[in-house]
């Protein structure tokens, strides 16, 4: 930087913007929000003359650490339990990052403030940075970690795996539908401002505790950009709040974005942090404790609540309900149990929990053992092939769940499951808030108001539907989760490499009963049968237990 101060330089680059005289730029994305042209300062105050060297310096640190990790044999100290979950996480996260880059143009024409566009363009290239630096981290893991399977097939597997599909909402929600709903409220106001705290701050701390200091190096570098993006969102939000006609839409979008982020991010990151760690010190924070600090206190109480006086209707009920799900209803534990139930449909290995893990869970979440302990003991018992099926096809007091049509995480807190007939199909939802999202929010009218720009939930949202009636061995082959001997599965319910007798192969799956789609079966029922099924389902749980037989 020369003698010119950043503030002076930033003021100068405001002279670059101009109003069109002859032709308006193309308008390709719609919104139901209205904005008045207003002088809103670019909160980033970023000038590329200082930005590029700053990012280059950050790169030097990241790549220096990467080099050091390899020379220092970091992988001799990395916990496999942890790295295996990175096969899922690092297959998901580059797409949300690059989608955030793609989302920025949605705001150019809809938010009439050229000064903000400068910040949005810088966010765009930041996101290109994040996506490729994360791909590079995955590549390094693939090259240096003991088991490259699952890293080497990462992006194919992410795209056809049900867990990847759940995670994909965290990307597609940014780039389609109403431009403000997607690129501002869902992306910057909720995903980046609230949930990157657990993604990029809490999770790296856990990585370090498991011998992996590269993930913190990369993700803290990423997070240092996120703080600028949060300012982008805040500036747009204040502009939206200035028009009272937007308040109803803001209330809708905050409810949807908050709940969907909670369902998706807490499911994944909660599982990684609680079930992917070997660090069982009693004074290390649990995910619930981190959530309370990072999201409830830092985001909800410090960021959102002060906006109430400007007319922002905050979904207090859903924020308390998210906490209720995590603390009282075992949301993260239910999800981890489901991931482990379906280990064979994934592309990473899931380590059984041990006595030491049980003790920690019981200490952090009193009552955990009574709910989940027995099931995890069964998981360990069934982890090596020995004439039995994978746990999903064994009798371990677990009822395979229905999927939530909206968030696509299964309806694991059984008592909350609701159903609705939509567009000629009976759908199940994990919670009333997810039913509302599909049935009421993502529609062309909302509370009597025309919302022609609102997006739609599309796609084949229940994974099991695609494989209804298939043999499990064919399912795993079709998805490509097979190692280079042509029969050993990528996924394993244990970490014991090197002894082929302990490895599950396609041959073991051939004997299993076929996959059944819960949604296909549900739609084959008569209305009365469905009502009875629903009444029974909501009496099930916790820990996936079927409803007790009537006395």
Q: Considering beta carbons, is residue 99 or 193 the nearer one to other proteins?
A: 99
All residues at 6 or more sequence positions from 195 whose CB lies less than 8 Å from its CB, including other chains: 261, 265, 269, 295
When the beta carbons of 299 and 472 are compared against other proteins, the nearer one is 472
Applying CB under 8 A, does 208 fall inside the site for other proteins? yes
- Say if CB 337 and CB 375 are below 8 A apart: yes
Strand partners, 446: 449
Angle (CA) 485-489-493 rounded to 5° is 145
Structure tokens at 125: 């290239």
User: Measured between alpha carbons, how far is 461 from 402 in angstroms, rounded to an integer?
Assistant: 12
CA distance 423 to 236: 34
Q: Does 30 bind other proteins (CB under 8 A)?
A: yes
Specify the residue, 246 or 437, whose C-beta has the smaller distance to other proteins: 437
Q: Is residue 382 a contact point for other proteins (CB under 8 A)?
A: no
Residues 259-318 that bind other proteins (CB under 8 A): 278-279, 281, 283-284
Q: Which of 110, 169, 246, 383 binds other proteins (CB under 8 A)?
A: 169
- Site membership for other proteins, residue 456 (CB under 8 A): yes
108 binds other proteins (CB under 8 A): yes
Nearer residue to other proteins within complex by CB, 83 or 202: 83
Q: Is 36 in the site for other proteins (CB under 8 A)?
A: no
Provide, rounded to whole angstroms, the least separation between the CB of residue 303 and other proteins: 25
CA distance 204 to 219: 7
Q: Under rule CB under 8 A, which residues in 486-515 are in contact with other proteins?
A: 488, 490, 497-498, 500, 503
Closer to other proteins by Cβ: residue 54 or 314: 54
Classify residue 25 by its DSSP letter.
Answer: P
The H or E element containing residue 426 is strand 425-429
Closest to other proteins by CB, 222 vs 288, is: 222
Rounded to 5 degrees, what are φ and ψ at 350?
Answer: -120, 120
Dihedral sign (CA 111, 112, 117, 119):
negative
Cα–Cα distance measured from residue 194 to residue 323, given in angstroms and rounded to the nearest whole number:
14
CB 406 within 8 A of CB 438: yes
Residue 170 Cβ vs other proteins, minimum distance, rounded to whole Å: 10
- Residue 346 in the binding site for other proteins (CB under 8 A): no
* Chain centroid offset of residue 113 CA: 31
Query: Smallest distance from the beta carbon of 304 to other proteins, in angstroms?
Result: 24
Kindly tell me which residue out of 478, 507, 529, 531 binds other proteins, with binding defined by CB under 8 A.
478
CB of 3 to other proteins, least distance (A): 8
Identify residues 132-161 at the interface with other proteins (CB under 8 A). 132-133, 135-136, 139, 142-149, 152-156, 159-160
Q: Which of 381, 389, 461, 539 binds other proteins (CB under 8 A)?
A: 461
Of 187, 209, 215, 318, the one binding other proteins by CB under 8 A: 209
Task: Choose, by CB under 8 A, the member of 42, 44, 79, 361 that binds other proteins.
Answer: 79
Euclidean distance between CA atoms 178 and 184, whole angstroms: 10
């Amino acid at each position: 930087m020369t003698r010119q101060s950043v503030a002076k330089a930033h003021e100068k680059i405001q002279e670059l913007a101009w109003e069109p005289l002859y032709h308006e730029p193309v308008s390709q994305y719609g919104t139901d929000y209205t904005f008045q042209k207003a002088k809103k300062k670019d909160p980033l105050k970023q000038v590329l003359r200082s930005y590029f060297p700053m990012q280059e310096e950050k790169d030097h640190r990241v790549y220096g650490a990467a080099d050091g990790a390899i020379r220092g044999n970091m992988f001799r100290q990395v916990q496999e339990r942890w790295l295996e979950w990175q096969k899922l996480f690092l297959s998901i996260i580059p797409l949300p990052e690059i989608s955030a880059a793609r989302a920025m143009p949605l705001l150019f024409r809809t938010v009439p403030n050229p000064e903000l566009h400068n910040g949005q363009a810088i966010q765009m290239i930041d996101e290109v940075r994040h996506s490729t630096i994360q791909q590079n981290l995955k590549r390094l893991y693939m090259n240096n970690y003991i088991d490259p399977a699952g890293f080497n097939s990462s992006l194919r597997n992410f795209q056809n795996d049900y867990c990847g599909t759940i995670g994909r909402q965290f990307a597609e929600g940014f780039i389609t539908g109403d431009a403000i709903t997607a690129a501002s409220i869902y992306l910057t106001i909720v995903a980046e401002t609230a949930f990157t705290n657990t993604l990029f701050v809490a999770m790296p701390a856990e990585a370090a505790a498991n011998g992996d200091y590269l993930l913190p190096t990369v993700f803290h570098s990423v997070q240092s950009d996120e703080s600028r993006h949060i300012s982008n969102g805040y500036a747009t939000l204040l502009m939206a709040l200035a028009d009272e006609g937007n308040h109803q839409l803001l209330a809708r979008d905050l409810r949807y974005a908050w709940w969907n982020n909670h369902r998706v991010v807490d499911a994944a990151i909660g599982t990684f942090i609680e079930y992917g760690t070997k660090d069982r010190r009693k004074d290390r924070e649990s995910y619930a404790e981190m959530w309370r600090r990072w999201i409830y206190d830092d985001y909800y109480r410090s960021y959102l609540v002060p906006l109430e006086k400007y007319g922002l209707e905050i979904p207090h009920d859903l924020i308390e309900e998210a906490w209720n799900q995590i603390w009282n209803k075992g949301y993260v534990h239910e999800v981890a149990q489901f991931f482990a139930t379906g280990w064979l449909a994934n592309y990473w290995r899931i380590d059984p929990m041990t006595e030491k893990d049980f003790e920690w869970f019981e200490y952090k979440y009193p009552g955990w053992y009574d709910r989940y302990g027995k099931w995890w003991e069964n998981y360990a018992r069934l982890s090596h092939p020995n004439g039995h099926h994978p746990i999903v096809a064994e009798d371990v007091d677990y009822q395979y769940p229905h999927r939530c049509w909206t968030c696509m995480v299964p309806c694991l807190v059984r008592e909350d499951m609701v159903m609705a007939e939509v567009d000629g199909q009976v759908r199940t939802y994990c919670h009333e808030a997810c039913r509302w999202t599909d049935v009421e929010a993502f529609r062309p009218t909302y509370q009597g108001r025309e919302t022609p720009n609102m997006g739609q939930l599309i796609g084949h949202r229940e994974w099991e539907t695609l494989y209804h009636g298939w043999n499990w061995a064919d399912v795993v082959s079709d998805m490509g989760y097979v190692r280079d001997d042509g029969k050993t599965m990528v996924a394993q319910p244990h970490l014991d490499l090197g002894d082929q007798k302990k490895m599950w192969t396609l041959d073991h799956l051939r004997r299993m009963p076929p996959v059944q789609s819960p949604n296909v079966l549900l739609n084959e029922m008569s209305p009365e049968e469905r009502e009875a099924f629903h009444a029974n389902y909501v009496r099930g749980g916790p820990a996936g237990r079927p409803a007790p037989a009537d006395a």
